[in-house]
Amino acid sequence: MEILPHDLQTYLDEHCEPEPEALQSINRETYLKVLRPHMLSGHYQGRVLSFLSKMIGPKRILEVGTFTGYATICLAEGLTDDGEIHTIEVNRELEEMLNSHFKLTNVGKKIKLHFGDATAIIPDLPVNYWDLVFIDADKKNNYTYFQLVLDKVRSGGLIIIDNVLWKGKVYGEANDADTQLIRELNDQISVNSQVEKMILPVRDGLLVIRKK
């Protein structure tokens, strides 16, 4: 999942904020108990998400794809005192683990957990606007999620999409269906005049989008 050379990534890890103890525990448990643990955001990307969230001080965050809650907690660190994060996960078997993970932190009460199909849940959420949206779910629906949330993101708000470098395949010669989907997503957003955008080479690529 890492795009950067290992020694460079290690240096970056050592020169950012330390990983909170609760997140260290979640990281360990995810690798011990959950299939495909590499889907976890991890220390450096988690600090990037936390940093971006704290920079804009959001009151309302939407996350599409909770997994074991690591990124959820990182994003929630930037919420205002009365803020909340709505997070959507398709796998209900993770519910017990997620609830236990959220209880390890001081942001657990700000997290609203939803289970099911995000395309059906997003339009029905009782929120008038989003300050920040993080999309990290099934990649085939990334652009659908982007379209669903764009009108509700406030001016100056952020949409962040994960895995947009797709292990480096998007700028290589790979032509499999998944790679083509990610390329199309990046290309479609790059020409969208409603937003400013840039890809950060963090882990597997973060597309950071600011609504004008």
Q: What are the 10-residue block averages of pLDDT along the chain, 212 residues in total?
A: 88 96 97 93 97 98 98 98 98 97 96 98 96 96 97 98 95 92 97 98 96 98
Residues 76, 74, 15, 137, CA torsion sign: negative
Partners of 195 in the β-ladder:
211
Q: Domain 6-211 is of which CATH architecture?
A: 3-Layer(aba) Sandwich (3.40)
Closest CA to 112 of 83, 141, 136: 83
177: CB partners within 8 A, 6+ apart: none
Q: How confident is the model over 43-98, as pLDDT tens digits?
A: 999 999 999 999 999 999 999 999 999 999 999 999 999 999 999 999 999 999 99
How many angstroms separate the Cα of 201 from the Cα of each of 3, 77, 127, 205, 208? Answer: 7, 22, 31, 5, 11
- pTM of this structure: 0.96
66: CB partners within 8 A, 6+ apart: 72, 87, 88, 89, 94, 98, 113
Supply the pLDDT for residue 140: 93
Closest CA to 188 of 168, 152, 159: 159
Yes or no: say if 80 and 12 are a contact pair by the CB < 8 Å rule.
Answer: no
Closest CA to 167 of 4, 41, 48: 4
Supply the pLDDT for residue 163: 96
Supply the pLDDT for residue 79: 98
Supply the pLDDT for residue 3: 83
Supply the pLDDT for residue 2: 77
Q: How far is it, in rounded angstroms, from Cα 174 to Cα 44?
A: 27
- Residue that the structure tokens 């209880």 belong to: 103
CA 78 to chain centre: 14
